[in-house]
């Protein structure tokens, strides 16, 4: 993901609290965090480490940051997990794609960090967001952290491409208040060109989220779409995403409460060079304001609240 993506520069009302340098993009490969300052890195042996990862006690974390007005409501602690099965051409976090490149951190350590900010979360209506990379590469760890956060009464968000949605258990979804679902294209061939993977698992995961709400707890969903000129901006490609988002509200009214159209930017370019990989979008310009408005208009025409 995560992709979070948050739009390139943070919104005008966005603030960072004690988080250090911006290191990249986010869900949709937009930003990624501030290292692991303050989180103790565990030094367990390899075999124990694998067992602990399977049990969800240990995760591979790229970084974390504290932000306001992105990744969900209020001020949030966003944790960027390492590892992603997608290879998005516009990924702003190419350094989060390999799980082995992350640092081992226990669920308890991360939850202790969450606990430190309970007052901030309460005061701002914020909470915890798990992002990446792709959170669902580490479903047991994510489930444990989400459960622990809910036990503290913290609002929880999951930022995901949905490609590994089958890894999310119903119990995990019960502990998730908001899913930031990155739908990277509506046309299957374009989706594969953008990500190297298939679109259908994402669509199926979104439908599952909508259907879950029919029988009790169903997470709220924000749809995120990264707008890249010449890659994802085709009118039909956008229209398919917009109609898909609207279709989730036909399954369960109120499922999709927001759409975020995220204009492509070049903030991640240097990171591709740093990890020694060819960057296909080196010459791609950000979308013009007129193009952004055309695309947002396509979503709004489906009755969707769109930013």
Residues that bind ligand SF4 (CB under 6 A): 1-3, 27-29, 84, 86-88, 91, 93, 96-97, 132-134, 161
In whole angstroms, the minimum distance from the beta carbon of 226 to ligand SF4 comes to 8
Q: For ligand SF4, which is the closer residue by CB, 69 or 84?
A: 84
Q: What is the C-alpha separation between 64 and 52, in angstroms, rounded?
A: 21
Phi-psi region of 61 (alpha: psi -120 to 50; beta: other; left: phi over 0): beta
Q: What is the C-alpha separation between 79 and 82, in angstroms, rounded?
A: 10
Q: For ligand SF4, which is the closer residue by CB, 6 or 154?
A: 6
Residue 66, SS3 per DSSP: strand
What's the DSSP call for residue 89?
Answer: T
Report the residue number whose CB is nearest to ligand SF4. 29
205 CB-contact burial (10 Å; exposed 0-12 / middle 13-18 / buried 19+): buried
Are the beta carbons of 204 and 25 closer than 8 angstroms?
no
Q: For ligand SF4, which is the closer residue by CB, 19 or 91?
A: 91
Are the beta carbons of 95 and 272 closer than 8 angstroms?
no
Q: For ligand SF4, which is the closer residue by CB, 80 or 121?
A: 80
In whole angstroms, the minimum distance from the beta carbon of 194 to ligand SF4 comes to 8
In whole angstroms, the minimum distance from the beta carbon of 215 to ligand SF4 comes to 30
Q: What is the C-alpha separation between 83 and 69, in angstroms, rounded?
A: 25
Q: For ligand SF4, which is the closer residue by CB, 43 or 276?
A: 276
Angle at 118 between CA 114 and CA 119, to 5 degrees: 145
Q: For ligand SF4, which is the closer residue by CB, 52 or 99?
A: 99
In whole angstroms, the minimum distance from the beta carbon of 176 to ligand SF4 comes to 18
Q: What is the C-alpha separation between 169 and 167, in angstroms, rounded?
A: 6
Q: What is the C-alpha separation between 58 and 17, in angstroms, rounded?
A: 26
In whole angstroms, the minimum distance from the beta carbon of 27 to ligand SF4 comes to 6
Please, which residues have CB within 8 angstroms of residue 255's CB and are 6 or more apart in sequence? 209, 210, 213, 218, 220, 221, 248, 249
In whole angstroms, the minimum distance from the beta carbon of 88 to ligand SF4 comes to 3
In whole angstroms, the minimum distance from the beta carbon of 135 to ligand SF4 comes to 10
Q: What is the C-alpha separation between 66 and 162, in angstroms, rounded?
A: 24
Q: For ligand SF4, which is the closer residue by CB, 78 or 302?
A: 78
Q: For ligand SF4, which is the closer residue by CB, 102 or 148?
A: 102
Are the beta carbons of 195 and 87 closer than 8 angstroms?
yes
In whole angstroms, the minimum distance from the beta carbon of 237 to ligand SF4 comes to 17
């Amino acid at each position: 993901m995560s992709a979070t993506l948050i739009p390139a520069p943070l919104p005008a009302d966005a603030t960072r609290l004690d988080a250090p340098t911006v290191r990249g993009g986010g869900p949709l490969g937009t930003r990624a965090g501030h290292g692991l300052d303050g989180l103790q890195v565990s030094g367990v042996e390899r075999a124990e480490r694998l067992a602990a990862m399977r049990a969800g006690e240990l995760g591979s974390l790229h970084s974390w940051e504290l932000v306001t007005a992105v990744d969900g409501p209020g001020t949030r602690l966003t944790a960027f997990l390492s590892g992603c099965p997608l290879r998005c051409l516009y990924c702003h976090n190419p350094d989060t794609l390999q799980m082995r490149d992350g640092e081992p951190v226990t669920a308890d350590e991360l939850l202790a960090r969450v606990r430190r900010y309970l007052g901030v979360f309460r005061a701002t209506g914020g909470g915890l967001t798990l992002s990446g990379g792709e959170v669902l590469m580490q479903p047991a760890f994510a489930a444990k952290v989400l459960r622990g956060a809910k036990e503290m009464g913290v609002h929880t968000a999951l930022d995901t491409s949905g490609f590994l949605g089958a890894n999310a258990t119903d119990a995990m979804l019960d502990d998730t208040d908001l899913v930031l679902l990155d739908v990277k294209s509506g046309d299957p061939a374009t989706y594969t060109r953008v990500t190297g993977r298939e679109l259908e698992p994402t669509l199926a995961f979104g439908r599952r989220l909508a259907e879950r709400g029919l029988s009790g707890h169903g997470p709220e969903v924000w749809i995120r779409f990264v707008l890249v000129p010449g890659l994802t901006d085709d009118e039909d490609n956008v229209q398919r995403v917009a109609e898909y988002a609207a279709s989730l509200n036909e399954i369960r009214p109120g499922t999709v409460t927001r759409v975020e159209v995220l204009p492509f930017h070049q903030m991640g370019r240097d990171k591709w060079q740093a990890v020694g990989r060819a960057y296909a979008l080196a010459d791609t310009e950000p979308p013009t304001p007129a193009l952004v408005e055309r695309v947002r208009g396509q979503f709004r025409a489906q009755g969707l609240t769109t930013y």
